[in-house]
Structure 1
């Protein structure tokens, strides 16, 4: 279970605290178990500072606390604070990165359910799609829906999410797909052949909807499977 520790302190020496945390990150490289760390300052009280550190589990957090550098940095951090910092230890019981959810819905509804109109809800009105395999690299929502309908009708693909990584407003998707070439696609008549492949896509989200996407799929591998390009 993911474990989060919140360190609450009062200090007016935030820049020194930042440098101290940088030195800890450098000194513990290759040995620390923390996976994510952030520091925030209270907008209503500039001396109120919170450090939030994430670990894969409580046990790994305890391993991290036993590093000599962690003990040294904590003592130096305490010297920068007005009083002793306080700790809140949290077992994470729910963790949803909301931009990931909209990307999962896009894969499930637009691709796997072959419902291109679902993109009207999932994508922002000014949506732009970039795909080097399409006649236009820069498509608006209606053009992207038309391209998707052609792909879905031609291959009836299913997409499996192999990995999703989110940071800020960006979500990166690693995927695999399979399908059968049952209808014409970009002038190529149906071959009846099965196709499989992999790809990556990057999504930029705004307000809980997809505003822009970039797609890179193994089109050369698919063309080989269709017999268009020699093995």
Structure 2
């Protein structure tokens, strides 16, 4: 896990907020996540038609289901109110997009871009190698007719 450091440097503080988001996801600490997002927080690249704010966070947790995971940040960039984090995830879950997990460890990369408002996350864009995850679980690709 990354270390949460308070800073008077706005970019460093924004980076710490973004890294805290991944730490809390890894820890399955959605109660603390509720305090880290704005009331109108929006996520793109998560479950379809996710509501905003805490309801969206609850939908994310419901959709993901039980999971053991660890996010390991590899690159963190900040510019203004935006922070980009490229990270590697190692996880085990019951299923992913309906494909049984069977205890298989999935390792994949993802990039998050987060808009920070004050000391909270207002917007999260997620782009992850979900196809790679499915293939790790034994899913196959079948060409259409």
* Bucket of the pairwise TM-score, normalised by the shorter protein: 0.7 to 0.9
Partner SS, residue 99 of structure 2: coil
RMSD: 2.2
**Residue 62 (structure 1) aligns with:** none
Equivalent in 103, 110, 123 of residue 212 of structure 1: 123
Q: Larger RCO: Structure 1 or Structure 2 (Cα < 8 Å, ≥ 6 residues apart)?
A: 2
Work out the number of aligned pairs and report it: 133
C-alpha contact 1:117 1:145 (8 A) present in aligned 2: no
After superposition, residues 110-189 of structure 1 pair within 5 angstroms as 111-131=25-45, 134-136=47-49, 138-141=50-53, 142-151=55-64, 153=66, 155-181=67-93, 183-189=94-100
C-alpha contact 1:199 1:218 (8 A) present in aligned 2: yes
Return 5+ residue gaps in structure 1 as ranges.
Answer: 1-93
C-alpha contact 1:116 1:149 (8 A) present in aligned 2: no
> Which structure is higher in helix share?
1
TM-score using structure 2 length? 0.80
Return 5+ residue gaps in structure 2 as ranges.
Answer: 1-7
Deviation at 1:205, TM superposition (A): 0.8
Change (3 A) 1:214 1:222: same
- Which of 1 and 2 has greater Rg? 1
TM-score using structure 1 length? 0.52
